[in-house]
Structure 1
Amino acid sequence: MFSYILYGLVWLISFLPFRVLYIIADINYVLLYYVSRYRREVVRTNLCNSFPEKSLKEIVAIERKYYKHMADLSVELYKLWHMSEAAIRKRCVFRNTELPQKYFDEGRSVIGVLGHYGNWEWMSSYSLWENDADFLALYKPIRSKVTDRMMKAIRSKFGAVLVAKDDTLRVIARYRSEKKLFLAGFIGDQTPNVHNLNFWTRFLNQDTPVLLGTERIARKYNFPVVSVRMRKVKRGYYEVEFIDVCANPAGLEPGVLTEMHTRLLESFIREEPQYWLWSHKRWKHKKV
């Protein structure tokens, strides 16, 4: 019953104009940061470990900016449901689309690696900027069927093709057999489960396990890899930039490609740390 109530509530909220939604976001910020103190300890620990050179005052400043950004994300996600194409194109602008287009012109599909940075959910509007290839958005299905259906409706609003993570190889094989092009969005900062702690690197000053799925698929099929950076220009406005990582990953040694896209993500975070998902328990596994 709760899932149906949530579904209806989100559906109604998504009709509200941004000026009203951001009032809700401001209230959410106060509730999250000062009242419920949602994962404050996790965020503080992650920030202190990642930036030992920063003072407590600097850490707290980043922390507050992060919670304000997270409160914005909470309404921006749901607003997708009833945003117009004109509105999302104005608020989420894709720059240098000629980079992936160069590979599409060569008849090659592309892997785009991004993190939980900026507003990654608005990346699903990429299909409005590209006619020659589908945008495959990898996702983890939600246990609640009602909530899962809601999230799929929101994420596919602008033409993204949702692909459950377990179906990734099957869908890619189908696209290849049908000679259809795609840009597949891989999240590069997911936390591996305990059975997939196969590759470790230094990330934000800490030993960090990284999933190798992106690299394995890119090297297996020699898909070009681009890094995706989403900048927050101002409240409710983002710009997406594509950065070339590797045109021919099949020729790389194991681990090299993972290091390359991880270093890029780290550089984005260090430049503007408040826009990364600090409340995520990224370092729950320890290297032995």
Structure 2
Amino acid sequence: MIKKGLSRLGTFFLYLLSLLPFWFLYLIADLLFVILYYITGYRRKVVQENLRNSFPEKTAEERKLIERKYFKYMADLMMETIKSVSMSEKQVRKRMIPTNPELVDHYFKNGKSILAAAGHYCNWEMACLSFGFLTDKKRLIVYKPQSNEVFTDFFNRIRSRFGATMISMKQTLRKMIEYKNELTFTVLASDQTPVKHEINYFTTFLNQPTAVFLGIEKLTKVVDCVVIFYRIDLVKRGYYTYTFVPLVEEPKLTKPYEITEVHVKYLESLIREKPEYWLWSHRRWKVKPEDIQK
């Protein structure tokens, strides 16, 4: 009860903080960067290890530059995520702009539902808001519930306030089958880490054996929808574009694991292009193939 009360107090504080203008939140972000990077060293060892293993071909100086850029962007992302709590539709439309929405119309006109793979790259939270008014068809965002139910419910309400429907990861297949006769646009994170007992497949991602979910591949074959990648690019501070990149249009004609490899490799190419915008402070490689074989 005390924990829930504190969590609700925390969400109220986030709401109040979100009412501050962007320029003021970016001043806080500049200070937060100094605190995270220079004073507390928040997860710097995790970031350094991940970068070292992912880019062994780069020099120590190159990896350090990526590390610093990452923490700089992470501070911005934290403040932008807080701002998303109260952003208006007008603000979202101004700051998160689609480059090729006609692709969505093309697939829908041809009677094809869409499943989009996305990564924890650039501002995925603002993209969730923009996704809400992308189309008038059913929009589904798949989420992985967190341990804190209050914060999970709070952010799900924020993400869905422009029309998207939030679906727990474990309910995804049932919901997509339920909506099989409707045109839907579903978004899933392609770089989540499966829990140990749910790992069925490893691929090579950023130079390392990496456990990946097979959900995108399984879902698209069941409902026969196209697979695209939901690419987000930073234009300038606080302003983004997003692009839909076609990956697989005939999922039932693919070989086992082919769809998984395609979306994982695309995310890797995006990260290699501009690595500072991916979530390097996450312990993505904590489970190794030898841990499963034991």
TM-score range, shorter chain: over 0.9
Distance in 2 (alpha carbons) for counterparts of 1:78 and 1:266:
27
Residues 173-212 of structure 1 aligned to structure 2 (within 5 Å): 173-176=177-180, 179-212=181-214
TM-score (norm 2): 0.94
CA contact (8 A) 2:142 2:172 kept: yes
Distance in 1 (alpha carbons) for counterparts of 2:223 and 2:122:
29
Distance in 2 (alpha carbons) for counterparts of 1:208 and 1:4:
36
Match of 2:232 in 1: 230
Corresponding residue SS for 2:162: coil
Match of 2:267 in 1: 265
Distance in 2 (alpha carbons) for counterparts of 1:39 and 1:12:
27
Residue in structure 2 matching 1:276, options 272, 278, 288: 278
Distance in 2 (alpha carbons) for counterparts of 1:96 and 1:227:
12
Change (3 A) 1:149 1:197: closer
- Within the alignment, does 1:249 sit opposite 2:254 as a pair? no
Match of 2:110 in 1: 106
Match of 1:91 in 2: 95
Residue in structure 2 matching 1:126, options 123, 127, 131: 131
1:170 deviates by 1.9
Distance in 1 (alpha carbons) for counterparts of 2:8 and 2:203:
42
Distance in 1 (alpha carbons) for counterparts of 2:146 and 2:53:
31
Corresponding residue SS for 1:180: coil
Match of 1:66 in 2: 70
TM-align CA RMSD:
1.2
For 1:10-67, what per-residue CA distance to the aligned partner results, in whole angstroms no more than 9, with x for missing partners? 0101111000111111111111111221111110000011111111111111001101
Structure 1 outlier segments of 4+, above 3 Å: none
Distance in 2 (alpha carbons) for counterparts of 1:149 and 1:225:
28
1:255 deviates by 0.5
CA contact (8 A) 1:78 1:154 kept: no
Task: Give the aligned residue type for 1:218.
Answer: T
Q: What 5-or-longer segments of structure 2 have no aligned partner?
A: none
For 1:58-87, what per-residue CA distance to the aligned partner results, in whole angstroms no more than 9, with x for missing partners? 111100110111111111112112111111
Corresponding residue SS for 1:81: coil
Percent of aligned positions with the same letter in both sequences?
Answer: 44
1:129 deviates by 2.5
* Matched length: 285
Residue in structure 1 matching 2:7, options 3, 6, 30: 3
CA contact (8 A) 2:176 2:223 kept: no
1:143 deviates by 3.2
1:147 deviates by 1.7
